[in-house]
Copies of this chain bind each other. A is one copy, B any other.
Amino acid sequence: MTSVADLVARVRPAGAADAAAVRRRVDALAKPPGSLGALEDVAVRLATALGDPPLALRRRTVLVFAADHGVAARGVSAYPPGVTALMCGAFVSGGAAVSALARSAGAEVVAVDVGVDAPPGALPGVMDGKVRRGSRDLSVEDALTPAEVCQAVLVGAAAVLTRAAGTDVFALGDMGIGNTTAAGAVTAALLGMPAAAMVGPGTGVDAAGRARKEAAVTAALARLGDSRDPLRVLAACGGLEIAAVAGAVLAAASASRPVVTDGFITTAGALAAVRLAPAAADWLFASHRSPEPGHHAQLAALGLEPLLDLRLRLGEGTGAVLALPLLDAAGSMLRHMAPLAAVLPRPGA
C-alpha cells in the first residue's frame, strides 16, 4: 500500500449476500421472529459481509496500537506517559488484561508501536511501526504533520494486511496515556460537537484533570476551525494510534475481514476511517458501550449498536475481545439452526 488514497480506493461495501434475503432466512429459523434480538442483527450483518452462512471466525487477531501523546504532559491522565511503554511489555509477556481475555477467546495479541516514546529496540516483541516518539501537544500545536498522519494510517493498514491471510476477524485495541483527550478532540471535530460533550473520566482522572482535558480539546478545536477533513483532524489532534486504527479499519474492509472496535479511542479511529470511505462501516462491529460520554455519539454516527455494556473503561481491546464469542454465536446460529418449518411440520396445528 503506497498511499492513503490507494487504501481508501480499495474499500468495498459488504455484499457477499443480500441483507434482506438473510433477514428473511433468520426470521424463518426455529424461533419467534426477532426473539434473539441484537444477535440476529449481528448475524445479518455478518452474513451480508461474508456470505450466508458465514464461515466460522476461527483465527482472530487483536491489534493493540500504542502511541504516546504530547498532551499527556498537561496532566490530562491519572497515569504518567511512561506507562504506555511498560504496558507494551505486558502485552508481550501476557500479563495485561487484553492478553488474559484474548487467551480466553482464542485470539492472538499483536502490539504495534505506532509512536511510543521509547528508543528504537526498547520494546522487544512489539511490531515496530514507530512514526515518531509521541505526538506533539495538541493543546498548543498540531499533534502531527500531514505526512505523519498518512504514515500512521499506513502502519495500521500494514498490520492488518500482513496478517489478513491468517486472520478471519480483527479486534482493535489501543494503548496511549492521554489518548482519551486526543480521541475526544478527533470526535468533537468530526461530529461538530463541543469539547464538553466529549470529556469523561478516561481511566480515572479527577475533576481538575477533566477540566484540563476540556481546555486542551477546546484549544485543538479552535485551531482546527471548521475543517472536518479526517486527515486534517487527525493531524490537529493526533494520535498516532488513532490514525493507525483508521488505517486498520480501511485495510480490513479492503481485505473483506470483519473488524471489531473496542471503546472510545478505537471508535474515534473507526469514525475517521468511515469518513474517508463510508463503505468501511459495513465491516465494523461495535463490541461494547463505553462510559465515555462521546462514545455514544460515535456509535450513533456509525449506525452501530454495541453488544456489551459492562462499564469497561480500560481500552487495550478488552471489550473487542469480549465480544468475539457473540460474533461466533451469531455465525453458529446461521450455520446450525433449523428452519421453523422443519421443526413444526404443520404450522398453525
Is the pair A337, B97 in contact by a Cβ cutoff of 8 Å? yes
Q: Does A145 contact B (CB under 8 A)?
A: no
Chain B proximity mask over A16-46: 1 for CB below 8 Å, otherwise 0: 0000000000000111111111110000000
Q: Does A278 contact B (CB under 8 A)?
A: no
Q: Are A100 and B335 CB-contacts (below 8 A) given A32-B203, A89-B343, A204-B32?
A: yes
**In the complex, chain B residues whose CB is within 8 Å of the CB of A87:** 30, 343
Of A97, A204, A312, A331, most B-chain CB atoms within 10 Å: A97
* Number of copies of chain A assembled together: 2
**In the complex, chain B residues whose CB is within 8 Å of the CB of A103:** 332, 336
List 12 A-B pairs, Cβ < 8 Å: A33-B204, A35-B312, A36-B312, A39-B312, A80-B348, A93-B338, A95-B343, A96-B343, A100-B332, A104-B328, A310-B326, A325-B325
4 extra A-B contacts, CB within 8 A, seeds A36-B318, A96-B338, A104-B325: A32-B79, A87-B343, A100-B333, A322-B329
Q: Does A300 contact B (CB under 8 A)?
A: no
| Separation of A349 and B80 alpha carbons in the complex (Å) | 7
Q: Does A297 contact B (CB under 8 A)?
A: no
Classify chain A's interface size: 35 or more
Q: Does A105 contact B (CB under 8 A)?
A: yes
Is the pair B312, A309 in contact by a Cβ cutoff of 8 Å? no
Q: Does A212 contact B (CB under 8 A)?
A: no
Least Cβ–Cβ distance between A258 and chain B, in angstroms? 16
Is the pair B349, A105 in contact by a Cβ cutoff of 8 Å? no
| Separation of A317 and B43 alpha carbons in the complex (Å) | 19
Q: Which residues of chain A in 153-200 are interfacial with respect to chain B, using CB atoms and an 8 Å cutoff?
A: none
Chain B proximity mask over A287-312: 1 for CB below 8 Å, otherwise 0: 00000000000000000000111111
Least Cβ–Cβ distance between A39 and chain B, in angstroms? 6
Is the pair A35, B335 in contact by a Cβ cutoff of 8 Å? no
Q: Does A342 contact B (CB under 8 A)?
A: yes
Q: Does A83 contact B (CB under 8 A)?
A: yes
Residue of B nearest to A318 (CB): B36
| Separation of A86 and B313 alpha carbons in the complex (Å) | 45
